Amino acid sequence: MEYSMLKRNNIKSVELREIQQILRDHSTNKAKASYQKFVPTVEKVYGIEVSELNKIAIKYKKGDFKLIEELWKAGACEEKILATKILSKVWKKNPEKTIELIKRFSRDISDWVVCDTLATQGTRDIANIKQKEIFKISKNLISSKNLWERRFALVLLINFKKDRDLRNEILEMVKAAEDDKEHYIKKAVKWIKKELK
């Protein structure tokens, strides 16, 4: 069944139902409390340990873009992280589609964990091949009114820390963000500066 049909009928794929069941089965109150403490802006969370998320990502690493979009749309923090981890494995199947999803997903972030996972793990490999496109995304979002788009733009720059040709431009972008009053932007600025040393 086409994804558009699935979306229209709100029918979950078999893979999404399987993953959601695994997430429910492995959720713990301790992990949920940890997310709520360390990721205070998280909107929806199952409460899954990172090691368990990594196991699920490995199991579904041959997933497709339909599953990635379904996971992201499902909306829980862990579902978005899984979407990102799977995207990092399948991007070679369609780099253009991957770029389009990175752009779309960057508009729908509400916490630092999803933001940083998408900006690093989700884009690390494609950033080497589609450097101009990924760097352009960062440049376009660096002055966004949306806090998470600005953080995403900064964290994306970490993918280019070894590129001497981009160093001056990266430093200018980081400098422009230094006066940002938002806590999560200040943390990102410190992080990228440390990575650039």
For the segment 76-130, what is each residue's pLDDT rounded down to a tens digit?
A: 999 999 999 999 999 999 999 999 999 999 999 999 999 999 999 999 999 989 9
What Å distances lie between residue 169 and 29, 92, 163, 174, 181, CA to CA?
Answer: 44, 28, 11, 9, 22
Closest CA to 111 of 78, 134, 137, 138: 78
Give residue 126's identity as a one-letter amino acid code: I
Q: What is the pLDDT of residue 10?
A: 56
Q: Report the alpha-carbon distance of residue 125 to residue 102 in Å, rounded.
A: 13
Closest CA to 173 of 146, 133, 144: 144
Q: What is the DSSP string of 168-191?
A: HHHHHHHHHHTT---HHHHHHHHH
pLDDT (mean) for 50-77: 95
Q: What is the pLDDT of residue 57?
A: 95
Residue 59: CB partners within 8 Å, gap ≥ 6?
Answer: none
Taking residue 179's Cβ as centre, other Cβ atoms within 10 Å add up to 9
Q: Report the alpha-carbon distance of residue 136 to residue 120 in Å, rounded.
A: 16
pTM (two decimals): 0.90
The dihedral sign for the CA sequence 93, 94, 99, 105: negative
